[in-house]
Each structure stands twice: as structure tokens, then as C-alpha cells.
Structure 1
Amino acid sequence: METTNKLKDINEVLEFLYQEFPQCFKQKEGIQPLKVGIFKDIAERIEGSEKVSKTQVRQALRKYTSNWRYLEAVTKSEFRIDLDGNQGEKVEQEHIDHAQKALEESRAKMAKRKKQQRPRQDSDAKSFKKKPAHAAKNSPAAAKPAKAAAPKRSGKVEPLPAGEVKVNNKVKVKLGQALVNAVITEVNKDDVHVELVTGMQVKTKADSLYII
């Protein structure tokens, strides 16, 4: 019995998109913001494909649109493109602001990880040698209370009614402490898939959706 050559690795799925839609998906140079709703277009084009599933495409899109090069393209490009590379809708300022914020947060996390990876044993040892135990205990730094967490902002947002959890409805989705505009692309029992303004695909729950 003949077996299908199903792709498994997410990078292989991305390679599939590069080959199938070369005017749209780029590896490095020429990256442009994707049309809002492009997942639906891809799903229609690959209908019946034995190589990739819609779930894999969604995962690949999430990786592609969270890449620094893509986020930079959103902040610098005037228009989005469709699967054939045709110019589409204009990139709205809201989308630019969101991409810029995501880019800054991603770079900050990367810098923090690198800082945490640096060995600190030597510096700690030198610090203990310079300061006697009683001095360290009574130092202002030791007595200084922990910095209080910044108060959370409270805004008036209304949860999305259950009857409005429908494909193509525009909503706000909660990501961490932020509310981001998105479009519902799929509803699968308790899981709701949305497409953010940057083009990123995210799986969430209905209780994380709010009226736009």
C-alpha cells in the first residue's frame, strides 16, 4: 500500500509555502505583510493536499509572522500582498504600532535571556569578599523593600457574547495584559482560532475574546 509523504517538521511546512507561493512567502529578502485572512486563501488552495494539513499551515504562519524580519516589514511597508504577490489593502497604523510593539518586546526578551545566561559566580564571590557579613546585612540595598509591581490598568471591555463567536467576526483577543484586534478564522468546540492584525494565527478560548 502506498504511503503519503506527509510533512512533519514546521520548517518543512514553511519550505512548502515558499515553493507553492513564491510570490508571497520569502525566506529573507523581499518579505512583505500578508493579506488579512490569507490563511483562508491558503486553506482553499491546498484543499485535498496529502502533504500538509490546515493545522500545520496555521503553525507555520504563526512562526512566519512572528519573525523579526516580518514584523519589520509590517512597520515599513505601505501595502499587504496576497498569495500571488498582488498588492492588497493598505497597512493600517494600528497594525504598524502592534508590530513595532511585538518587535520591541521580542528583542527585550532576547536581551534578557542573554543577560541571564552570563556567569555571575565570579562577581558574586568578589562582592562577598569586599563586604563583611554584617555590612551586607545592614546595607541599604538589603533593607530596601522589593519594588512594588505596577498597578494593572483597568479598562471597560465587554466579553464577546457566546452567540458572536463566529468565523469572520472581528474581535479583540487578550494576549497577556494587552487586547489586540483580530478576526475569528475557525471555531472548534472550546478552541477558537483568530488571526491578529499582524497576520499571526493564534489559538485561544472564547472567554479571552471581547467586543471590538
Structure 2
Amino acid sequence: METTNKLKDTNEVLDFLFSEFPNCFKQKEGIKPLKVGIFKDIAERIEGSDKVSKTQVRQALRKYTSNWRYLEAVTKNEFRVDLDGNQAEKVEQEHVEHAEKALAESRAKMAKRKKPQRPNNRDGETKSYKKKPHSRDRQDQKRPKMSSKPAEVKPKRSGKVEPLPAEQVKVNNKVKVKLGQALVNATITEVKNDEVHVELVTGMQVKTKADSLYIQ
């Protein structure tokens, strides 16, 4: 009896996607933005497969689309591609801006991790090179600074963001999903009990709850 080696590791699932859809998924060179709704297309192609599950594909897509190379591809390519490498829809400007923001945040975190520490003294304490302020400087610091510029009045947003009505929690509906403190444009790809799967503008797959979805 023939046995099937079911994939377990996310990297193995990515290798599966690289081999099954070489014109769409690339490891390093030639990466291009994926067609919106690519998960649904993959699910149809692997229907009945004992080697990989839809959940594993979703996790692999999340890792693939959050990679620096992929985010850079979103900012540099005009069109997306389907599973066969054919040109799909155009990359919208808001998708580019979201990818640029994600890149900047990721690079900032990486730079923070690599930030060198100050050398320690013999007692193991961090040396401080901060110059003590002069007595006159300390008095100046206590005085409140007066600004000659008038206070800037920020314009109020005209559009209201409201929770997505329950009857609109449907596949293919355009929504805004709350990620941390930000609202990101997304498309509903699957509704399963209390869980809602959405695809962000960058192509990343995210699992959330209906009460985290909004409409503008």
C-alpha cells in the first residue's frame, strides 16, 4: 500500500508551492506580487491532496507575503501574477503604500536589535558620558519655553469608520480589518463559524473575528 508523506513544516509547504507553481512562486529572484484571491486558486488546485492542507497553505502564504523580498516586489511591480505566471490585476497605490510601511517597520525593528551597546566599566556598569549641566543652564531648563507659532489645528476626518454589519460578513466583500491600532484594507476569503479569514492588500492571509472588521 502506497503511503503519502504529509508535509509538516512551513518551509516544506513553501518548497511544495515553489515546485507546483514555479511560474508564480519564486525563492529569491523574480518575485512578483500575487493575484488577489490566490489562496482560493491554490485551494482548488490541491483539492483532494493528502500531502498538504489548506491551513498549511494559508500559513505558508502568510510567511511568503511578509518576506522583505515580496514586500519590495509589491512596491516595484505594476501588475500581479496568477498561479501560472500570467499577468493579473494592477497593483493599487494603497497596496504599495502598505508594503512600504511594513518594510519600514520591519527594518526599524531589525536595526533596533542590531544597535550596539555602550562599553561597560570595570564594575560592569554602563558608562555615562552625559555632561552635567551648569547651574545657569539648570535654571534655564526650568523656565517654560514660549512658542511664537500658533497651535496647529489638525483637520478632522470626514469619513466615519463603523463596524461591519453581520449580514455583510461574506466572502469577497471588501472590508477594513483592525491590526493593532491600525485599520488595513482587506478582502474576506473565508467565513467559518466565529472565524473570518481575510487577505490583506499585500496578499498576506490573516485570521480574525467578525468584530474586528469595519466598513468606511
TM-score w.r.t. the length of structure 2 is 0.82
Give the secondary-structure state (helix, strand or coil) at the position aligned to 1:13. Answer: helix
Q: What are the within-5 Å matches in structure 2 for residues 21-170 of structure 1? A: 21-115=21-115, 118-120=116-118, 122=120, 124-127=125-128, 156-170=160-174
Distance in 1 (CA, whole Å) between partners of 2:175 and 2:126 is: 53
> Could you tell me how far 1:17 is from its partner in structure 2?
0.1
The gaps in structure 1 that reach 5 residues or longer are 145-152
Moved over 2 A (4+): 1-4, 118-121, 123-128, 153-156
1:42-94 alpha-carbon deviations (Å, 9 max, x no partner): 00000001110000000000000000000000000010000000001111111
> Could you tell me how far 1:131 is from its partner in structure 2?
8.8
| Bigger mean CA deviation after superposition, 119-128 or 54-63 | 119-128
- The one-letter amino acid paired with 1:52 is V
Give the secondary-structure state (helix, strand or coil) at the position aligned to 1:127. Answer: coil
More helix by share: 1
Distance in 1 (CA, whole Å) between partners of 2:65 and 2:55 is: 15
Q: Does 1:194 align with 2:195?
A: no
Distance in 2 (CA, whole Å) between partners of 1:176 and 1:125 is: 34
- The one-letter amino acid paired with 2:85 is G
- The one-letter amino acid paired with 2:204 is M
Distance in 2 (CA, whole Å) between partners of 1:12 and 1:91 is: 29
Q: What are the within-5 Å matches in structure 2 for residues 2-17 of structure 1? A: 3-17=3-17
Distance in 2 (CA, whole Å) between partners of 1:131 and 1:78 is: 53
The answer (yes or no) to whether the contact 2:118–2:127 under 8 Å persists in 1 is: no
Give the secondary-structure state (helix, strand or coil) at the position aligned to 2:198. Answer: strand
- The one-letter amino acid paired with 1:198 is T
Equivalent residues, number: 194
The gaps in structure 2 that reach 5 residues or longer are 143-155
Q: Percent identity?
A: 82
Residue number among 163, 175, 187 corresponding to 1:171 in the alignment: 175
Question: Which of the pair has more CA radius of gyration?
Answer: 2
Distance in 2 (CA, whole Å) between partners of 1:160 and 1:98 is: 22
Q: CA RMSD in A?
A: 2.5
Distance in 2 (CA, whole Å) between partners of 1:51 and 1:120 is: 51
> Could you tell me how far 1:126 is from its partner in structure 2?
2.5
- The one-letter amino acid paired with 2:190 is E
Distance in 2 (CA, whole Å) between partners of 1:181 and 1:90 is: 16
> Per the alignment, do residues 77 and 125 of structure 1 end up closer, same or farther by CA in structure 2, a change over 3 Å counting?
closer
Give the secondary-structure state (helix, strand or coil) at the position aligned to 1:25. Answer: coil
Distance in 2 (CA, whole Å) between partners of 1:39 and 1:105 is: 26
> Could you tell me how far 1:125 is from its partner in structure 2?
3.4
